[in-house]
Amino acid sequence: MSDRSNPGSGKPRYLYGWIILPIIAIVGIIFSLMDQDGLEIARREVLLRRIGDEMLTQSGDRTSRVLPVKKVAANEYKISFENGLAFRPDSLVNTTRRLLARDPLVTDYVVNVLNPNASVAYGFAVSADKKDDIIACIGRVQPKAPYVIDVKFKPAGMNMAKHGYLLGSLPLLAFAGFVFFKSVSGRKEAPRQQDAGIVTLGPVLFDARNRQLTIQGNTIDLTATETRILGIFAQTPNETIARSRLQKEIWEDEGVIVGRSLDMFISKLRKKLEPEPDINIVVVRSKGYKLEVSA
């Protein structure tokens, strides 16, 4: 009888349970994101070390060490070397862009190459909005010296994601826990992707959308067919592509395949790539062609 006379007596306990469940979920998310933060920082330091390693290799040094990357501030790192090195600014810009594109939290950053007296020997800035990029003097080779590369990142990414999760979940504390989980899963950030149509091939930038190559600071225009051929090579550099595949993908839609046309366009592409010795299209006898890109 008493139970029937108080049909709502058990509701507060259920209500508290629905409130506590999202709170526990929030705490779990915070700790999960903290762990992910540490992983992303460690991953970023590995990418920075790769930048140093490739700069040494490009300068002809394959034996000396890249010293441990130093985190000098919350979003600032320094890359230093056991020995001095010379570098080409265009190679530094392309290498940095290619490797840091693998960090989903990186959008804007500034790179300064410091002389031993801490003065700036060369610097550039990269932004998520490419029109805000600041890149100059990429054609001038910098002489050998004990440089230090300073990289500063725009604060963003994980902290903003944490705030978004927490603020978005607060109104749901009075509702069922499953609603909270659904809202969180729908608010996850998508990883940043590289600008569609732009591919880095060693020190060369290939802009398929605008049909252009950027080699040592110079822009070279491509024809539509040259762009399509180079686009196929760019998908699998340093791998042999059958001559028949190239002919089929380029000319089959036009209803005719002309064998000598491919040779002519390959020859034209070679001439346009000539200014950069680290990239070339070579003939693989009895098989096809290969786009060789030096590391």
| Per-residue DSSP letter, 192 | P
What sign does the dihedral 157-54-197-284 (CA atoms) show? negative
> For residue 202, is it left (φ>0), alpha (ψ between -120 and 50) or beta?
left
Q: What is the pLDDT of residue 23?
A: 67
Between CA 119 and CA 109 the distance in angstroms is 19
Q: pTM of this prediction?
A: 0.45
**pLDDT (tens digit, 9 = 90+) per residue, 43-66?**
888 999 999 999 999 889 989 999
C-alpha dihedral, 93 to 94 to 98 to 101, nearest 10°: 40
Q: What is the pLDDT of residue 111?
A: 95
Residue 236 has pLDDT above 70, yes or no: yes
Q: What is the pLDDT of residue 131?
A: 84
Residue 40 has pLDDT above 60, yes or no: yes
| pLDDT-based confidence at residue 187 (cuts at 50, 70, 90) | very low
Q: Bridge partners of 70?
A: 78
The phi, psi pair for 255, rounded to 5°, reads 85, 0
Q: Decide if 294 contacts 242 (C-beta within 8 A).
A: no
Better-predicted residue by pLDDT, 20 or 69: 69
Cβ density class 102-128: b for 16+ within 10 Å, e for less: ebebbbbbbbbbbeeeeeebbbbebee
Better-predicted residue by pLDDT, 209 or 166: 209
The phi, psi pair for 143, rounded to 5°, reads -70, 165
Domains of the chain: 9-193 (no CATH), 198-293 (1.10.10.10)
Strands (E), the chain: 70-73, 76-80, 85-87, 109-114, 120-126, 142-145, 148-153, 198-201, 204-207, 212-215, 218-221, 240-242, 279-284, 288-293
**pLDDT (tens digit, 9 = 90+) per residue, 107-143?**
899 999 999 998 999 999 998 888 888 887 777 788 9
**Lowest mean pLDDT, pick from 118-127, 149-158, 176-185, 214-223:** 176-185
| pLDDT-based confidence at residue 261 (cuts at 50, 70, 90) | confident
Residue 193 has pLDDT above 50, yes or no: no
Helices 177-186 and 158-169 sit at what angle, rounded to 10 degrees? 150
Contacts of 200 (CB under 8 A, 6+ apart): 94, 97, 98, 206
| pLDDT-based confidence at residue 199 (cuts at 50, 70, 90) | confident
The phi, psi pair for 12, rounded to 5°, reads -55, -40
Q: What is the pLDDT of residue 50?
A: 93
